[in-house]
Every structure is written in structure tokens, then in C-alpha cells.
Chains A and B, each alone.
Chain A
Amino acid sequence: MVQARTIRLWSRIHTWTSLVCMLFLLMLCVTGLPLVFHDEIDDLLEDEIAAPAMPEATPRLSLDRMIAAAQARFPGQYVLLLNLKQAEPLVTVAVSPTAVPAPGNFHRLTLDARTAEMLGEETPHQDVMDIVLRIHKDMFAGLPGELFLGAMGLVFAASIISGVVVYWPFMRRLDFGTIRRRSSPRVKWLDTHNLLGIVTVTWTIVVGLTGMINTLATPLFDLWRAQLIPVLLAPHLDKPVAPIPSVQAAVELVCARFPDRLVTSVTMPTSARFGSPQHLVVWTKGATPFTARMLQPMLVDANDGKTIVAPEVPWYLKTLQVSRPLHFGDYGGLPLKIVWALLDVMTIIVLVSGIYLWAARRRSSARRKPLDAGQTAAAGV
């Protein structure tokens, strides 16, 4: 019978794709759980730096003063970037002892935007959440690890799709939501696996695929940079990295030219891959929840401090930017994060019950092999 054979094939695809990605997915789901509440946990673990109370209308100092203050604190070191806090009059400045920073090896200074007073100084360190994030992101294996987990995401998508296909033969005789709790544990967990799996499909597909897209962030950003930067740098060939021009003037220029965009951070001229050696990169975001996800860099020529290039962000980076919140679940307040965590736990139950069902079938088919091995395979559990 053709249909039975098709079902058996899909069932086998479901079994093997699931087995291939199972361990990694369990790791991703378990580490993902605390990461959903990343912000909340960070707030608990670290003392949040707050700006001292001052009258509402206290003017902010020039951003150049912030850079000067950071340079005075670490003479001879390299100022890499400057972050403008949106909610509070705070500016953070990242300073590195080397021109191209080693991962994690930079100081982060928090300054009062109105007085340039140093409010906090974060030495290079890794806290628990950084470690959880590294495991989740690349298992401490860098880009290869990241891409490998992306491939596991694709296998997971294949496992989900084949799972939906084999849902049909299993549910042909059952009503939606049936859980035969009185039957054998295997039947009970099969029903649970089916119900939890089918209702979470949309979420797992979206979180899985957006996670996979995230693993491509580094190559995609490098691709864009490779297309964009050489053209921009053509007139500056063989020049050393430009000195930092007036950041305040550059930010004001960008704000005047693009009044509907908010400046979030400024990257200094750098030979590192996150910036340009001859430009200040002024990062801006939109004002609506959706456009706030869409970061747009404005490159201000560091030599004349006037020429602005606003490069069109390519579709693949826009896709990446939209896929981020959909993976993190951080775009709808704490209740959305709680829902995210519940769906994550449901996915863990689907994964674990899947392993259990596979092991239980192997055990029972090994026992019954002489009798009706073919029949069990046709049932395709």
C-alpha cells in the first residue's frame, strides 16, 4: 500500500531528524529558558547604575566631553564606542587597551550625560549569564559552533515538518486533544507528545528559524561590510585610522538631517570589523516598536566631519533585525517573556517525550521482532 509506505518514510524522517538535533535542541531550550529573562536576571545580579536626581531641564554636556573624560581615565587607550541610554541621561563609553579589541576585553564606563561624572566602571568580566549565552550561541566554539547550531536549527525544522505530517495518521482515529491517560505510559506520552507538539508548531518553527537566521549574523554583516566599505574608503586609500572628530557635531548633523531617527550609539573610527577607519558610524533607530528594531547606520566622514552617507540596509540584514525579537521574545513586556518560557518548557516536554517514545519503541520492537516487526514499523511510532 503506497500510503502506508509514504507514512513510514515520513515517520522515519521524523525519527532521524529528531535524533540528530535532539541533544543540541535540549541544550538550546534549557539555556534559552534563563536567557528569556536575561534583562530581569541582570537587574537582580548587578547593581543598576542610576543617574542622580537633577532638575528636569538640566542640559546635557557635549558628547566630546564624555570621550575626553574616558581618555583621561585610561590615558593612551582606545575609545571604541559610545552608547546613549534612551531612558536616562547616561552615556556608556567602551575603552580598549588594544586598537582591535579582544572579545570581552574592554572597560565600560558609565558617565552622567549632564556632568561627565564617572558613575560606574565595569572591568572586563564574564558573569553567569554571559556563559549561558555563549553556550546557547556557539558552545564556546566561535563562528563554526554558531553555524553548526544553525544547521541543527534547519534539521529541527525538518523534524517539525515531518512531525506535522505523521500527526495525521496518528490522529485519524482520535479527537483533537485526546490524552489516553488510562492506557500504557507509552500511549499516554504519545498523545502528550502529539498534543504539545502540534499546538506549539508555529512558535517552534518561528523561534527555530529566526534562531537559525541569527547564526548567520556575523557572515551577513561581513558580507555587507565587504560590499560597502571598500567603495567608501576608495578616496582614503593607505591613510591611517582617522583621529576621532567631534562626535557631538556629527550627532547633531545626523539629527538635523534625519529628525525622525533616534541616535543609539556611535562607533569611533577603527580598523576593527565593527566600524570604518575613516568614518564615525552613528547608529540610529526608528521611534515605533517595529522601526526601533531597524537599526540604520549613518556614516559621517571623520576627515571633514560633514559628509554623511546613509547606506541602504540590505534585505538580508533587515530580515536579521526583525528575526531577533522573534527569537528572543523580548518585544512585548514581561507577560510575553513568561509565555515564551512556558512554550519553551512545552518544547522541552515534546523533546523528552520524543526520546522516550523512540526508546520505548526500540525496546518493544526488539522484543516482538520475530513476530510482527513489519507491523510495528507500519505503525511508525
Chain B
Amino acid sequence: MPPSVSSADVPNRARHHRSAWAVFRVPLLVGLVCTAGLGLALVGDGIWDGLSWLALSLPVTLVAFYWRRAGRLR
């Protein structure tokens, strides 16, 4: 899934349209991790809280990562 550098800037018209599965598999995974994160802190303290912090930081981390990468490609 890691996107190639050349396609990051301009949509690749030669490439076939992605299926819904290809478009949604990463968001789905993020959603599942976040759901787990929301639930984990509810069931226990200590380690459960820690896991919940990690899981719910995923969206923040992803955005920071992709934003920085887009900046480097400038």
C-alpha cells in the first residue's frame, strides 16, 4: 500500500480506478483500531489506558506522517 513518490502529486490517470475495498481498507483498519481504543480505557485502568492512548493516537500520527511527507516532496 505505500504510495510511490511519483504518484503522490498527480493522480495517475493510466492506473485503473481503485475498488472500494482498495480505497477503504486503510480507513477501515484505522476505524477498528480507534474503536478498540475507545473501548479499552472503559474496561480497565493501567495497561488498558496505555493501549487506548496508543490506539487513539493513530489518526494523529497518520496525519502528521502524511503531512510531513507531502512537505518533503515539495
Contact = CB atoms under 8 A, between A and B. Distances in A.
A180 B56 contact: no
Interface string A341-376: 011001000000000000000000000000000000
Nearest to A200: B59
Contacts of A51: none
Contacts of A179: 66-67, 69-70
A202 B30 contact: yes
Contacts of B3: 175-178
Given A331-B41, A335-B53, A174 B26 contact: no
B49 A202 contact: no
Given A342-B60, A343-B60, A176 B26 contact: yes
A180 B23 contact: no
A180 B9 contact: yes
Contacts of A203: 34, 38, 56, 59
Contact of A202 (B31, B57, B66, B74): B31
A198 B69 CA distance: 18
Contacts of B67: 179, 192
A319 to B, nearest CB: 13
Given A175-B7, A335-B53, A182 B73 contact: yes
Interface in B4-42: 4, 7-13, 15, 17-18, 20, 23-24, 26-27, 30-31, 34-35, 38, 41-42
A288 B43 CA distance: 8
A346 B8 contact: no
A188 B10 CA distance: 12
B52 to A, nearest CB: 5
A175 B1 contact: yes
Contact of B65 (A168, A177, A200, A340): A177
A290 interface: yes
A332 B41 contact: yes
Nearest to B36: A202
B27 A325 contact: no
A201 B26 CA distance: 12
A178 B53 contact: no
Report, as a range, how many residues of chain A touch the other chain: 35 or more
A340 B35 CA distance: 14
B66 A195 contact: yes
B50 to A, nearest CB: 8
A181 interface: yes
B30 A175 contact: no
A332 B8 contact: no
Interface string A147-175: 00000000000000000100110011111
A184 interface: no
Contacts of B8: 175, 178, 180
Contacts of B31: 201-202
Interface string A199-210: 111110010000
Nearest to B53: A335
A201 B58 CA distance: 12
A331 B42 CA distance: 7
A195 B63 contact: yes
Contacts of B17: 172-173
B56 A168 contact: no
A33 interface: no
A140 B65 CA distance: 41
Contacts of A178: 3, 7-8, 66, 70
B59 A199 contact: yes
A182 B9 contact: yes
Contacts of A143: none
A203 B27 CA distance: 12
A164 B28 CA distance: 11
A339 B34 contact: no
Contacts of A295: none
Nearest to A182: B9
Contacts of A322: 42
Closest 3 CB pairs of A and B: A175-B3, A332-B41, A177-B66
8 contacts: A177-B26, A182-B73, A182-B74, A199-B58, A200-B59, A203-B56, A332-B41, A342-B60
